[in-house]
Structure 1
Amino acid sequence: MTPTATLPPRAGLGLKPEHYAEILSTAPDVGFFEVHAENYMGDGGPPHRYLSAIAERYPLSLHGVGLSIGGARPLDREHLKRLRRLIDRYRPQSFSEHLAWSTHETAYIPDLLPLPYTEETLATVAAHVCEVQDTLGTRMLLENPSTYLLFEESRIDEIDFLAAIADRTGCGLLLDVNNVMVSSVNHGWDPVAYIDRFPLDHVGEIHLAGYDETVDGEGARLLIDAHGSAVRPDVFALYRHLLGRIGAMPTLVEWDNDVPAFPDLLAEATRVDRAIADVARHALKVA
């Protein structure tokens, strides 16, 4: 297993088909683009033509949503083969997946479902991560989840669970700050304390996104990881706190639903780049 190349410590954006032509014609100043692996598993066609052209100009982050790393059944070998072909073809600077499951027997569930944090689950996830890394020939990043319920049988703290997987497998971690906020509000955790306890030395990439908000049956706040709006102020403040702890780091702005015009996405990336530049300037002053 060899590590992927490093993404630049800048803001990245998700690559959307409606923006292909504009990106190629205007060459915007973006640190990198992320693509969802499952959208490019066909053998050819316009998606690959555009992605090949963009990959010549920008670093790529490949993000999977269908491996079902936390599933109890064996990983889908054909899916892994398709992932390997994508990685061999585009040589992305980062590959990541979710700490979640999304399959049951032969059915695929279009959602990222939570796991009970037990020793049994830990062993299963660690074995799956090792299999993924061995098959793909690259180090992967595992993303912390956004969750809406907790399992009574959980015996391991979420942060300790992620740290143990990284220690056992050598994988890295993808720290999604929006997921931290969503889970913290939903479960009554302190999001700053979560960031402060997180094993930051394993982090290879950060995610930001917008959440939706409603109330649960008892009238308490309930956040939903919706990816359909700009990054919320509380999430961005938490991100600035994280940067103060970890320093400049590649950061993706996720906006997957109700996708706006590209200039609006670029404005979000510019806001993130400014925050990264601020922490870099502060580090220089301290040094």
Structure 2
Amino acid sequence: MNAIAPFHGFGLGLRQTHYSDFLDGDVPVDFVEVISENYMVDGGKPLRLLEEVRAKHPVIIHGVSMSIGSAQGISDDYLLRLKGLADRIDPLWVSDHLCWTRTSAHNSHDLLPLPLTRAALDVVCSNIDRAQTALGRAMLFENPSSYLSFPEDEMSEWEFLSEMALRTGCYLLLDVNNVYVSAHNHQFDANEYLAGIPADRVRQIHLAGHQPGEIIVDTHDREVCEGVWELYAAAIARLGPVATMIERDGHIPPLPELLDELAIARRIASAETAQVAA
């Protein structure tokens, strides 16, 4: 499987609200990320719009329904349609989540948690091997936000991800907000998580907002909070420059507001990189 070269840049998730901004103007981003399932079609307006955006910016294809944790395996039809999209768009990379979303008869459209066990790891690695072989490329997989744990758990999430990457050759998409959310909800040290993941396998970082409370909920509907920015700084200090993007899926503001937020990420990354170099 071909290696995924590092890509150092700052981007946004492409959402319908901002289509005209990207099509008609010169948006100062280094890449955009799209939800795979929205474009896994044979043709039509969404795909034509994506091709127009792709002519201006590198694109990352990010899925929410591969379901690498499904005991039934991955859908053949899903992989065929995803490969068609990837071959057509030629993305920087293709990514999805460490989760399961479907049974043989039902798709929940939710990123459901997995027990962190050896048996689950075997299922996940088998499914990743199949997906990467079908696509003809290595993939990235994202750590999910978590609201429950299983009594059967045999390892931490970062240990699971590390072993998964080692066994399959896949890469990691580190969602810093999800680390922050899960650390709060399960009372573990977020910095221990950062220290435990294999830095050389991380190719991208996600930043997003969440709903605070006794249980934090990952909502992607507000600005990145100060605690997540601090954790992002710690991540960059360990990882070095890595592709970073802001996710916003609810209460989407005008594009200039998201670009202002992305500028914060640029400043933090620049400062941390300079400090490490010194």
Task: Please classify the TM superposition score into its range, dividing by the shorter chain length.
Answer: over 0.9
Compute the displacement of 1:2 (Å).
2.4
Which residue of 1 is the match for residue 172 of structure 2? 173
Compute the displacement of 1:276 (Å).
2.0
Query: Structure 1's 248 and 6: CA in aligned 2 closer, same or farther, altered over 3 A?
Result: closer
Compute the displacement of 1:4 (Å).
4.5
> 1:146, 1:179 within 8 Å by CA — same for their partners in 2?
yes
Which residue of 2 is the match for residue 183 of structure 1? 182
Which residue of 2 is the match for residue 217 of structure 1? none
> 1:208, 1:251 within 8 Å by CA — same for their partners in 2?
yes
Residue by residue over 1:13-72, the C-alpha shift from the partner in whole angstroms, topping out at 9 and shown as x without a partner, is 000112111122221110110000000012222211211111111111110100111111
- Structure 2: which 5+ residue stretches go unaligned? none
Secondary structure at 1:222 match in 2: coil
The farther-off stretch of 189-198 and 92-101 is 189-198
> 1:5, 1:93 within 8 Å by CA — same for their partners in 2?
no
Matched, 1:97 2:96: yes
Which residue of 2 is the match for residue 260 of structure 1? 253
- Identity in percent: 40
Compute the displacement of 1:6 (Å).
4.5
Give the aligned residue type for 1:36.
Answer: I
Length-normalised TM-score, structure 1: 0.94
Give the aligned residue type for 2:247.
Answer: E
2:4 and 2:38 map into 1 onto residues whose CA distance is: 21
What is the aligned counterpart of 1:228 among 207, 221, 237?
221
Which residue of 1 is the match for residue 135 of structure 2? 136
2:4 and 2:231 map into 1 onto residues whose CA distance is: 27
> 1:6, 1:93 within 8 Å by CA — same for their partners in 2?
no
Which residue of 2 is the match for residue 68 of structure 1? 67
Matched, 1:279 2:272: yes
Which residue of 1 is the match for residue 82 of structure 2? 83
Backbone CA RMSD of aligned residues: 1.2
Compute the displacement of 1:5 (Å).
5.5
Length-normalised TM-score, structure 2: 0.96
Compute the displacement of 1:257 (Å).
1.3
Matched, 1:50 2:53: no
> 1:6, 1:94 within 8 Å by CA — same for their partners in 2?
no
Compute the displacement of 1:204 (Å).
0.9
1:71 and 1:252 map into 2 onto residues whose CA distance is: 28
Secondary structure at 1:48 match in 2: helix
Q: How many residues align?
A: 278
- Structure 1: which 5+ residue stretches go unaligned? 215-220
> 2:194, 2:235 within 8 Å by CA — same for their partners in 1?
yes
Secondary structure at 1:22 match in 2: helix
1:107 and 1:75 map into 2 onto residues whose CA distance is: 13
> 2:35, 2:63 within 8 Å by CA — same for their partners in 1?
yes
